[in-house]
Structure 1
């Protein structure tokens, strides 16, 4: 993919040179190609970077679990319980926000140790300070620490949210002298465990403010975890989601893209009442955004509901509600939800074992999901590049003075148009001779329906009729219900005609498409056939009339949209024939009381009702067969009519010759590939362009072949 990017960059340089020296027609096409090329030059580097991230993910020796949550929910307490580390390494606070930077904790034997990675001056100003200036409309962001040290611009917004953001920015500004020197160190700083808090926390043990965290990008801590079985496990502790820190969302998204394999959300319900709310969903969306289009978040995330039970606080009830009522069915989707007291090491270890077991059992599936995304994106980009190279190769053939190509074009067009008109006229003539013939596929389908209707009438037995009459309130009611069911059953059988009529339509559209592709020399415009080919050709018809209309495009779209349907041609006839199976007007009425027999007369037996049902059913089926034999030629007549209409629109209508000429002039290099290519070889610039485009096309073709081979091997 890197080679393809380099090739496209070469093509862009050539394109910029050619724009000033080729004829107007080719210049317009080069400018259009430039827009496509711009998109590829933007997307390819992003995908190359994503591939590097994916390779890094698969080559990592550790399984990285991100611990994520809003501030003051118990994340740090959970990590302490998981690892056995203390306030020195994983600080907590009962007051305001505590953790200020991302910490990566890896299980390894030996003494706990840490390395602090600081922002550079450039990354601090660009990633931390710049977004505040942009969000708050404070003007140009400072380009140096000296510039940031100057007085801040005044805030012109009265928004409470903006005020909070400005206060947060002011904190970075006010305390710059406290952490400024750390932004110039350049190298990771090894520190002992007792100094970790001073670099990751916003306050010390005595709740006094700390400011070194403002310069820190991340801290990596290596320590033996309390649970020895967790070798190869890393925990990534992200700062709690706050309300005034513009970096919160970016941290989560970047971590999900670069380092985190799975997520553990931590949520502590309020004992006085709570629910999954806006902030929870916002956090969930950040994680989803970082995950991208890989495995579903519901497969690789877990929710720990932090249960706290003390004499002053007991949120047990709210924890149960959250786990079993609020989360299920909500957009906050996770693989598993567990209720646990994050301060109890045994409970946390037990739940973490379940989480790890789930991850290990599904690891191959989740890795495959990541690979599938990258594979799909690579195929999409290859297809875009391939289509680009097809269009780009035609530029050289267009980039000739009209005096060179016009006379050969006129000869080719006149011959092609003559052959197209002749072939279409022949098709119309053949269809006209067949328009009174019955449609064989429809005839066969109807005969199969009649056979099925006779073989499987679905008539109930006398015993079934008696049972239903007893449950429904009488034989007359059961009789009406059976009639309605028979009508519905028989009507459903005739819906099979839809497939036969559709097949006839598809065959006609394919015939016309083959003529356009063959005698019409339009095969190069589309790799599809039938209806899709017609629509692809229609999409290429240029605006040839002042009002933007086109008789040829209209005819192509009309033919592509044509459809023979059961509902349009046969359904109204079938439904009329089934009137005798209506409960309110049956072909064989149920005997009326007071005449020969009545509903309660013992002479009306279940056996008689069955015979009445059979008579009504047979009469309806016979009526269908008699009536539908008169419409067997209708599909042939309809097909002839639409194709003749198409012929009149594209050949006979006034002005269509000019439309075709303009259209073929526009697509001449695709209609007659190679006819104009030799002319382009006379120009050094155009030859260089063609060679560069072919080189990229070859790279894409090789990549596609290699991908298919790997897929077959897999």
Structure 2
């Protein structure tokens, strides 16, 4: 088994390495679904636009996005199953079978648990909750509990549906007082003819009657219990409890109804594989509504292989219809795994059964299931499920060896099947994109004649000329402002500097932000610790330099306001009015950003024009970039050491007594030094008052050159005209181009979808 252990550990490690790519694909498909939604919205807008021709509208109206959304959801669900499979840190084996075949006994033999954790019985089904049991050094059980809503949906509603009753009660109180039919004669005529209706109705009424025994557990939380206390949470009432309930007239307790899932940890007696989990799968042959569907729920997430237990009891020593139905259910659970024999092992329980019945069942499985060839469709194992050592040797070891060899193949099949499903969806998305492209081509059928083309060129050149004139006038005005020491902009700058200067002085007066008393107390404490004042003085001057600089960086708000004003003026007063409806609904920086995007993403891209706008938007005015380097010398005097004019050597700037009076003196001297530095900084900044205006003037001048006089300017203005003709000059030209702003929105959405598909 050591080889199997090593192989299984390697398989689990390989799975975990694939998780990042699976998660990336899930995110990719979810992103694609969002982008398709944006595409659908853009298509709808174009289809409804008043200038879109009838033929294009008709073609676009035939597109169906909903089936593709559903297919993408299915793909994401399959990828999520794959993620769940590869996320597990254990190799999981499911154990299934009908009542009384020894399934629970097999689980006990593998896990070392007993009837208190995995109940067994000789009558009706005993196990009520699916349990996952893991080989571990711990011995404990973690219950995942229902809240009422999940209990209503997962437990109650299937019974209501099975009996043709109205929807299950919405609240716990309504369930407690709900009037269920007193007998099957109150059910619909169709249900009265079904033999299962009576026991299903009885089960439902038992749930209601037993509500006080599990109501407190319907919290939706997790609950850790000792293994000795587990039975009542996973098993139906015993026959004795049912008899007692019948005689006393009080319902048998049913805490298991509040339990959604159980995880049990315990040391397996014969486990040679550390990463091993056993999943108990109740449900086959039970009367509970939807029991078999619940039996399948989560199998693709939870198990790598299923051991289906069969016991040749009287009347069951053959392969019956119910056994075939069980394997058909498991076929659904194996998903993309190609071979039944990889996913399902048939286990004949030989314990307490005479050899004749074993031989009869063995022969019937060979003939009826495996077409007369041993292990053709299913591997068949034989073991006494009550003998742990026999179970280990004859069931667990063969299964683990099989998984060690075949699990990489099964994983590949699941991965490839999921990929193929995704590939089919990709084709459907490509078909939609092709239909949209065809619609846009048809929309271009109304071409301009030669005279209209000449007119369009004239309009494009005139647009460029008008922008040139307006920008030239704006540059002249900015040039004047950048070289005068008065005016609203100049005054606003001085006010911002003065505000920062006043804030610095207020901070200094307040003991550098600490309060005078606290600052002096901190200084004296450092004197006492360091036995000198130099260390504290040096640290504090460093702090003061930084803070003064930070205060003056507050003029950045003034710069932001100046930039906003520039962008608002250029966009709203110069550019937008000349571009018709193209930038409608946008203003200021948002309008410029939209223009930049439209130029770059046009059907005929105008990269030069887009770059010109982009560079203008990238303009930054801030204290640290433009001004701090020029005024930095004003703060250089804030040093704790100075040069002795006689010796030329460095000496301590401050010499004070190491007592409270010395601390107060140090505050006065440092405050005076800081005020002087702040004043010099203010003075230096005032001398740079024209810098922001000069920077703005230079930026707009560069924008004008790049937009109007670059080598490709004329060509790209004409491209813009062709691409956005009916947005820039609405109603001026006959016919419709699909590549208006509405059409470009569709084209850009298509590009986004294609980019995600290709990633």
TM > 0.5 fold call: yes
1:296-339 superposed Cα distances (whole Å, 9 cap, x missing partner) = 2222210101113369x974333433444443229997541012
- Does 1:252 find its partner at 2:287? no
1:124-159 superposed Cα distances (whole Å, 9 cap, x missing partner) = 212222233334322233322233231126421212
State how 1:567-578 maps to structure 2 within 5 Å. Answer: none
Q: What does residue 55 of structure 2 align with?
A: 25
Shift of the 287–333 alpha-carbon distance from structure 1 to 2, 3 Å rule, reads farther
Shift of the 318–291 alpha-carbon distance from structure 1 to 2, 3 Å rule, reads same
- Does 1:337 find its partner at 2:380? yes
Partners of 1:24 and 1:152 lie apart in 2 by 59
Q: What does residue 121 of structure 1 align with?
A: 148
3-state SS, counterpart of residue 66 of structure 1: strand
Q: What does residue 201 of structure 2 align with?
A: 166
- Does 1:138 find its partner at 2:173? no
1:257-276 superposed Cα distances (whole Å, 9 cap, x missing partner) = 21111110001122345321
Partners of 2:301 and 2:57 lie apart in 1 by 42
Conservation of the 8 A alpha-carbon contact between 1:87 and 1:197: yes
Shift of the 138–17 alpha-carbon distance from structure 1 to 2, 3 Å rule, reads farther
Conservation of the 8 A alpha-carbon contact between 1:320 and 1:339: no
1:198 to 226, 232, 235: 232
Unaligned runs of 5+ in 2: 1-28, 243-251, 451-734
Partners of 1:26 and 1:374 lie apart in 2 by 36
Structure 1 residue 14, shift from structure 2 partner: 3.0
Structure 1 residue 363, shift from structure 2 partner: 1.6
Shift of the 330–151 alpha-carbon distance from structure 1 to 2, 3 Å rule, reads farther
1:588-610 superposed Cα distances (whole Å, 9 cap, x missing partner) = xxxxxxxxxxxxxxxxxxxxxxx
Alpha-carbon RMSD across the aligned residues, in angstroms, is 2.8
Q: What does residue 111 of structure 2 align with?
A: 83
Partners of 2:172 and 2:54 lie apart in 1 by 51
**Number of aligned pairs?**
426
2:435 to 391, 401, 410: 391
- Does 1:63 find its partner at 2:107? no
Partners of 1:148 and 1:276 lie apart in 2 by 42
Conservation of the 8 A alpha-carbon contact between 1:117 and 1:216: yes
Q: What does residue 54 of structure 1 align with?
A: 82
Partners of 2:95 and 2:449 lie apart in 1 by 72
Conservation of the 8 A alpha-carbon contact between 2:53 and 2:736: no
Shift of the 138–240 alpha-carbon distance from structure 1 to 2, 3 Å rule, reads closer
State how 1:187-586 maps to structure 2 within 5 Å. Answer: 187-204=221-238, 206-208=240-242, 209-272=252-315, 274-309=317-352, 315-329=357-371, 334-351=377-394, 352-398=396-442, 404=446
Shift of the 333–399 alpha-carbon distance from structure 1 to 2, 3 Å rule, reads farther
Unaligned runs of 5+ in 1: 409-677, 704-714
Partners of 1:684 and 1:228 lie apart in 2 by 68
1:655-692 superposed Cα distances (whole Å, 9 cap, x missing partner) = xxxxxxxxxxxxxxxxxxxxxxx953553222212211
Partners of 2:100 and 2:196 lie apart in 1 by 20
Conservation of the 8 A alpha-carbon contact between 1:273 and 1:318: no
Q: What does residue 174 of structure 2 align with?
A: 147
Partners of 1:181 and 1:275 lie apart in 2 by 45
Partners of 1:14 and 1:135 lie apart in 2 by 45
Partners of 1:129 and 1:166 lie apart in 2 by 11
Shift of the 399–140 alpha-carbon distance from structure 1 to 2, 3 Å rule, reads farther
Structure 1 residue 377, shift from structure 2 partner: 1.1
1:73 to 94, 98, 101: 101
Partners of 1:330 and 1:285 lie apart in 2 by 20
3-state SS, counterpart of residue 265 of structure 1: strand
Structure 1 residue 398, shift from structure 2 partner: 4.0
In the superposition, the TM-score normalised over structure 2's length comes to 0.53
Shift of the 685–92 alpha-carbon distance from structure 1 to 2, 3 Å rule, reads same
1:336-390 superposed Cα distances (whole Å, 9 cap, x missing partner) = 1012111111211112101111110112111111111111112111121112211
Structure 1 residue 19, shift from structure 2 partner: 4.7
Shift of the 84–392 alpha-carbon distance from structure 1 to 2, 3 Å rule, reads same
Structure 1 residue 229, shift from structure 2 partner: 0.7
1:625-660 superposed Cα distances (whole Å, 9 cap, x missing partner) = xxxxxxxxxxxxxxxxxxxxxxxxxxxxxxxxxxxx
Structure 1 residue 698, shift from structure 2 partner: 2.3
Shift of the 405–173 alpha-carbon distance from structure 1 to 2, 3 Å rule, reads farther
Partners of 2:198 and 2:58 lie apart in 1 by 50
Conservation of the 8 A alpha-carbon contact between 1:308 and 1:315: no
Shift of the 405–141 alpha-carbon distance from structure 1 to 2, 3 Å rule, reads farther
Structure 1 residue 234, shift from structure 2 partner: 0.2
Structure 1 range deviating more: 317-326 or 113-122: 317-326
In the superposition, the TM-score normalised over structure 1's length comes to 0.56
Conservation of the 8 A alpha-carbon contact between 1:130 and 1:141: yes
Q: What does residue 632 of structure 1 align with?
A: none
2:753 to 670, 692, 696: 696
Partners of 1:241 and 1:256 lie apart in 2 by 14
Shift of the 310–139 alpha-carbon distance from structure 1 to 2, 3 Å rule, reads closer
3-state SS, counterpart of residue 752 of structure 2: helix
Conservation of the 8 A alpha-carbon contact between 2:200 and 2:288: yes
Conservation of the 8 A alpha-carbon contact between 1:305 and 1:337: yes
3-state SS, counterpart of residue 339 of structure 1: strand
Structure 1 range deviating more: 98-107 or 147-156: 147-156
Partners of 1:172 and 1:91 lie apart in 2 by 20
3-state SS, counterpart of residue 680 of structure 1: coil
Conservation of the 8 A alpha-carbon contact between 1:263 and 1:300: yes
Partners of 1:31 and 1:334 lie apart in 2 by 50
Structure 1 range deviating more: 42-51 or 6-15: 6-15
Q: What does residue 449 of structure 1 align with?
A: none
Conservation of the 8 A alpha-carbon contact between 1:105 and 1:236: yes
Q: What does residue 179 of structure 1 align with?
A: 214
1:396-445 superposed Cα distances (whole Å, 9 cap, x missing partner) = 34457x8x36999xxxxxxxxxxxxxxxxxxxxxxxxxxxxxxxxxxxxx
Conservation of the 8 A alpha-carbon contact between 1:397 and 1:680: no
Q: Which has the larger radius of gyration?
A: 2
Shift of the 93–10 alpha-carbon distance from structure 1 to 2, 3 Å rule, reads same
Structure 1 residue 117, shift from structure 2 partner: 0.5
3-state SS, counterpart of residue 134 of structure 1: helix
State how 1:583-662 maps to structure 2 within 5 Å. Answer: none
Partners of 1:316 and 1:104 lie apart in 2 by 30
Shift of the 16–130 alpha-carbon distance from structure 1 to 2, 3 Å rule, reads farther
Partners of 1:394 and 1:252 lie apart in 2 by 49
3-state SS, counterpart of residue 9 of structure 1: helix
Q: What does residue 741 of structure 2 align with?
A: 684
